[in-house]
Amino acid sequence: MKQDRPNLDHWEARVDLAAAFRWTARLNLHEAVANHFSLAINDSGTKFLMNPNQMHFSRIRASDLIVVDADDPDALTGPNAPDPTAWGLHGAIHRHVPHARCAMHCHSIFATVLASLADSRLPAIDQNSAMFYDRVVIDEDYGGLAFEEEGERCAALFTDPKRKVMVMGNHGVLVIGATVAETFNRLFYFERSAETYIRALQTGQPLRVLPDDVAEKTAAEIEAYPEQDIRHLAELKAILDEEGSNYSN
């Protein structure tokens, strides 16, 4: 059950993020002790919560999350220093993309398969994939591990606020949003959509691609659908609570 921790700021945000880590591990969207989620906790977005360096998603608790300052040149020193690639990618995102309050990067299987194709576009072949119509950035210039220079390059690709998913070519997926609930919901549905697409390709049959106007209409309708992301995360937290998980400790 959730506990009040007056000695730790942003407790509810910590609990939400911890739940997202736990459920990401349960769905096998993570990769070993790599991958990172972050959530801005100041108005400018430069100070953010992040998972500790190389801690497995399935063990992360609300109290484990570290606070990182993207403007602090000493952020990579000290006992609670973040992973250098996490600093490079998420620090750049939070410095340069003000609408990215939350950022989730992982190497989920089907999104990474999509990122490995010469054509990494996700066509609108069902209702789920239609929600991403004209809302995805494709990075075609992978330059190695996401240290600071690579992170800056990736952040610069988020020029259109409507596009909140980046298919990181040869790498994985990066999803941004205003809240943990919104961002995790988007990550979940993008992975599900990528899976449907990859499995459809495996049949070798022609794809039933939606017309552009129908795909855009569907995407707009899903964006306006009330509280689906909030209720999704709330239900996941309720399941974890019923199971006696320590995520909220």
Where residue 214 sits, what CATH number does that domain have?
3.40.225.10
What angle do helix axes 228-242 and 180-203 make, rounded to 10 degrees? 90
Total-model pTM: 0.93
The answer to whether residue 42 is domain-embedded is yes
Domain with 121, as residue range(s), is 11-242
* pLDDT confidence of residue 1: 39
Tokens 């020193």 found at: 77
pLDDT in tens, 215-242: 999 999 999 988 999 999 999 999 999 9
Query: Is 157 within 8 Å of 94 (Cβ atoms)?
Result: no
Asked whether the predicted pLDDT for residue 146 surpasses 90, the reply is no
**More confident position, 82 or 167:** 167
The answer to whether residue 248 is domain-embedded is no
The answer to whether residue 5 is domain-embedded is no
* pLDDT confidence of residue 127: 97
Our count of domains for the chain comes to: 1
- With CA atoms as reference, report the closest residue to 193 among 246, 142, 244, 120: 120
| pLDDT band at residue 6 using 50, 70 and 90 as cut-offs | very low
- With CA atoms as reference, report the closest residue to 24 among 180, 169, 228: 180
Q: Which two tokens stand for residue 136?
A: 């995805």
Residue 208 region by backbone torsions, left for phi larger than 0, else alpha for psi between -120 and 50, else beta: beta
* pLDDT confidence of residue 3: 47
Query: Is 34 within 8 Å of 9 (Cβ atoms)?
Result: no
pLDDT in tens, 80-93: 778 888 888 998 99
Beta bridge partners of 102: 39, 177
| pLDDT band at residue 7 using 50, 70 and 90 as cut-offs | low
DSSP code for 247: T
